[in-house]
Chain A
Amino acid sequence: MRRFYLPTLLLMLLGLASGQTSQSYINAELQRLIQAGGQNYANVLLKQAPDQALCSIHRNKLPAEVLGPFIEEQRKSIKYPADGKLLGDWKQGEPIFNTLARGNCFSCHVGSPLNIGGNVGPSLEKYGQRGTSEAIQKYTYEVIYNTWAYFPCTVMYRFGHGGLLKPEEITHVVAYLLDPASDFNTKPALKR
């Protein structure tokens, strides 16, 4: 019990500091149930963050009055690479996009010339046709860094926010999608 106490307290203080009253989803009974699943299981589930709690409470459909502040919080969490460059090296982005244990992007999106894409997310086929303007670079980077800033509670992981990809790695994925020379844009996408 003590192990969970400190992080919870810290989260609460953080919530207060940012003027948020964070609602928790996990009550005492649910906590007991989760703990019965074993230490490793409980360690991860009981660390539920306030934004994850909101998605759980509202069953992934946030009501209008929650939506605004929620998106604002998500946007605030986005960190950019030190040099400010959002378009990295597409060749380094390719394995990230196409590896299950890294980006796993192909599992949910059509567009890769290397893997048959899934249809959980929208097709990204020839994504580069959107151009390489600063706005589209920024949008693409931010969607990958924190998807919930644009699609609250969606199934796509918040790659930067969740610590799954570093900012530099995200810039490589952005380049894989946007660079006109990228195989993603020059070769045909594999489809079912």
Chain B
Amino acid sequence: MGRFWRLVGAAVLALFSLVVLAQEEDDPVKEAEKQKKQLLEQSGGILPSDLYVEQGEQLFKTKRGPKNASLEACDFGRGPGKLEGVVGRLPRYFFDTRKVEDLDSRIRSCMIRLQGFQPQEIKRSDVVSIAFYIASLSNEQPVAVRPLMPQEKKLYQLGEQLFYLRAGPRDMGCATCHVSYVGKRAGVLPYSDILKDKRAASHWPAFRYSNDQAWTMADRIRACYSNLSMPAPDFYSEPIIALTLFMNVQASGAQMDLPGFIR
């Protein structure tokens, strides 16, 4: 943990010097690139997200759980143990669970099926670290999510409907911000264009340098609900998978930047 805090210190320093010395870039992607470069220089080539990747690799390869097994036999869609590029092909339908699963829910399924964990025993932070490890092996690979199976097509369609749904006391709906008001700011970051900007969905899971948090797409979606005081869908639940499927299809063709590094 000591190293982690030293890294956080470096991040804070980098941020501070940037505020003092330089005009913040208007494009958040360029701004994040700048921050990343500076952090790398200050920390001697290590990013905080590397720590999650390292932790995740250990969790992935260690024999754990009631069945005393590692996750190395987990099939993320390209066959057991094949991890390269898998993030860009999720969510997808899996025959063993008979469900469309995203990265988070697939990790959880394997922890249940291979390691014998009870669902309530699974720590969210473990899933996130493992997601970061797997993401690190998909870096610079393309997003290629094409709903072909009937289950995928159905969930895609539901994800699209959910994306446009307005509800709650603040008339919340994803499309209002991410389609109708793209580029506008109600805070520091502009609303990203989820339908047209392929970068929006292609850098998750990501490390957020503004608050030192490791987030998967599920955390991002849940935060967008919470920001409008809406109850968020449960982790690993179908609404999250459906929205992720819808958004990842929009991002198809993008080259992934993983783990993401964002504000």
**Interfacial residues, chain A to chain B (CB-CB below 8 A):** 25-26, 29-30, 33-34, 36-38, 40-41, 43-45, 47-48, 52-53, 55-56, 59-60, 107-108, 118-120, 148, 153-155, 157-158, 162-164, 192
Contact = CB atoms under 8 A, between A and B. Distances in A.
B73 to A, nearest CB: 28
B237 A38 contact: yes
A43 B165 contact: no
A60 B237 CA distance: 26
B231 A43 contact: yes
A148 B171 CA distance: 10
Given A37-B238, A120-B185, A44 B230 contact: yes
Interface of A is mostly: loop
20 contacts: A25-B161, A25-B165, A33-B158, A37-B233, A37-B238, A37-B240, A41-B230, A45-B167, A48-B166, A48-B167, A53-B166, A56-B173, A60-B173, A107-B187, A118-B184, A155-B171, A155-B176, A157-B170, A157-B171, A163-B169
Nearest to A53: B166
A185 B154 CA distance: 53
Contacts of A45: 165, 167-168
A166 to B, nearest CB: 14
A26 B166 CA distance: 11
B180 A155 contact: yes
Contacts of B170: 157, 162, 164
A48 B172 CA distance: 10
A48 to B, nearest CB: 5
Nearest to A118: B186
B231 A120 contact: no
Interface in B109-163: 154, 158, 161-162
A148 B164 CA distance: 17
Contact of B171 (A25, A40, A59, A162): A162
B31 to A, nearest CB: 14
B166 A153 contact: yes
Interface string B213-256: 00000000000010000111110011110100000000000000
Given A36-B238, A41-B230, A44-B231, 5 more contacts: A33-B158, A41-B237, A52-B171, A60-B164, A154-B176
A56 B225 CA distance: 17
Contacts of A26: 165
Contacts of A119: 184-185
A36 B186 contact: no
B237 A59 contact: no
B169 A164 contact: yes
Nearest to B242: A33
B175 A38 contact: no
A78 to B, nearest CB: 16
B4 interface: no
B184 A56 contact: no
B177 interface: yes
A26 B154 CA distance: 15
B233 A41 contact: yes
A154 B170 CA distance: 11
Contacts of A34: 162, 239
B94 interface: no
Given A59-B175, A119-B185, A155-B176, A38 B231 contact: yes
